[in-house]
Homo-oligomer: A and B are copies of this chain.
Amino acid sequence: MSDDENLSEEEEAEEEEEYDGEVEQVDDEDDDEDEDLELGACLGLLSLKISEEEVEEEDTTMELGDLPHPFVVRDLEPSDFRKGHLKLLEQLTKVGDVSEEAFTKRVEEMRKLGDFHHVVVIEDVEKQAIVATATLLVELKLARNCGKVGHIEDVVVDQTVRGQRLGQRVVCHLAGLAEQLGCYKVILDCTEANAPFYEKCGFKPKELQMAQYF
């Protein structure tokens, strides 16, 4: 690990080859316009404590908060098998040959975990197609006064609708949910290349992710 940059490139090369599940595909918009306001908007969704300084950001919150037609944010449903949820996930990672029965069974298993497991989607209601998704796990801890930590996973936005901040919306939605559920922080793993996107969502680089494959 003497050269992180090379290591990161190696890992990314491996990603491409293995088509691994850990690369978040997000909006590839490059505009830095109103970056601070976007961040404020994101955080504004998560907190009711609004200072005078944040009034402008509150307006921006509304701007980010109201999804334009034909998009709707909601929890994943078994019927999303037919609305292309797995085709969307294929833009992120290997999916394999998952039947409608297996999909429904897994969604029901997830639901049984209640507040500990949430998959959100954005649906294009005109096309009845899932265009963005992300997952939140809630970890129970004994430390931090029996605290909780949110883990965000599997963030992906359909390539046909990128550049409309849908990635930011699903991430902010889950970060807000994590805070509502009593988490003191939310964490995620991403490539170096996707870090600037998550920084726009209010995240900061923290540690190193390690993985062991079986």
> Contacts A205-B1, A208-B208, A212-B204 known; A140 to B187 CB distance under 8 Å?
no
A195 within 8 A of B: yes
Decide: B214 and A184 in contact? CB cutoff 8 A: yes
Stretch in A26-34, A50-58, A65-73, A102-110 touching the partner: A102-110
A107 to B47, CA, bound (A): 29
> Contacts A85-B142, A140-B109, A205-B208 known; A187 to B189 CB distance under 8 Å?
yes
A131 within 8 A of B: no
Set of chain B residues within 8 Å of A169, measured between Cβ atoms: none
Query: What is the interface of chain A mostly: helix, strand, loop, or mixed?
Result: mixed
A16 within 8 A of B: no
Set of chain B residues within 8 Å of A147, measured between Cβ atoms: 21
Partner of A4 from B4, B106, B187 at Cβ < 8 Å: B4
The residues in A between 184 and 208 inclusive whose CB is less than 8 angstroms from any CB of B are: 184-192, 195-196, 198-199, 201-208
Size bracket, chain A contacts? 35 or more
Decide: A143 and B210 in contact? CB cutoff 8 A: no
Decide: A207 and B209 in contact? CB cutoff 8 A: yes
A129 within 8 A of B: no
A73 to B89, CA, bound (A): 38
Decide: A146 and B103 in contact? CB cutoff 8 A: yes
Which A residues contact B (CB, under 8 angstroms)? Answer: 1, 4-5, 7-8, 11, 21-22, 46-47, 85-86, 89, 92-98, 102-103, 105-107, 109-110, 113, 116-117, 119, 135, 137, 139-147, 149, 151, 153-154, 175, 178-179, 183-192, 195-196, 198-199, 201-214
The 5 A-B pairs at the shortest CB distance, nearest first, are namely A96-B145, A203-B210, A206-B211, A207-B209, A4-B4
